[in-house]
Amino acid sequence: MNLWLLLNSGRCDAAFNMALDEALLEAMPRLQKPVLRFYGWTEPAATFGYFQKYAEVAATTKLRPLLRRPTGGGIVPHDADWTYSAVFPPGHEWHLLKAEESYRRIHDWLRLAFAELKVETELAPCCKKTLPGQCFVGYEKFDLLWRGKKIAGAAQRRNKLGLLIQGSVQPPPVPVRREDFETAMCGVAEKNFGVRWREFSPETGWRRDVEKLAAEKYSSSAYNQKR
């Protein structure tokens, strides 16, 4: 059975969101099962890529808090988006993909989910950048487009622990509910990837460990402004 774990963590503060995604990646060698997580934000925030320079990012967006992600990519506003993460253990089919292919595959998954809801989207065939370092200004190859405008992007981190994909959907102005989109994503995975879902049940002390990581790392200006 192709068993994946499903976690809907609801609205959390920005530091906790980043810490939980990192904790899921660190847990992959132990869990040995992919995890799909849906989550939201208790307040407007912005995240930026691990390798970006804080001063440049801070001058570009007024959204605060402003946090460095554990993944790459550019600046992502979290004031109206639908966020998710997909995490895969080492040696899993997705983990073995090249970065461009896993990027294409995650957005094709979203495209199929929107299609289930009668919303037509497409993958960008090439690039259209106007401002460097900003995720939703212009688009990159294989971003998800609605009527020529980017509505979904993602950032990745692939290492010996596994693969972490952090994704953001800026929903198009059509009558689609987030809950229906998440249900469609799960349904597409069942139909196209042969996935069977089980609710993720964290082990004892999991939340305490995530809160500690959030406080010591992602709430720390030393980390967020380290370059």
Which of 139, 186, 171 lies closest to 36, judged by CA? 186
Tell me which of 126, 127, 135, 186 is the catalytic residue. 135
pLDDT for position 204: 87
How far lies 173's CA from each of 30, 44, 80, 108, 113, in Å?
Answer: 41, 19, 12, 20, 16
Averaged over successive runs of 10 residues, the pLDDT of the chain (227 residues) comes to 94 98 98 98 97 95 97 95 98 98 98 98 81 64 95 97 98 96 98 97 92 98 96
The rounded distance, in Å, linking the Cα atoms of 187 and 195 is 9
Query: Residue 172 burial by CB count (10 A; 0-12/13-18/19+): exposed, middle or buried?
Result: middle
pLDDT for position 101: 98
The neighbour count for residue 70, using CB atoms within 10 Å, is: 21
The neighbour count for residue 68, using CB atoms within 10 Å, is: 22
Domains and CATH numbers, the chain: 2-224 (3.30.930.10)
Is residue 126 among the annotated active site residues?
Answer: no
pLDDT for position 110: 98
* Residue located via tokens 């509910």: 177
Q: Determine what percent of the chain falls in helix, strand and coil, rounding each to the nearest 5.
A: 35, 30, 35
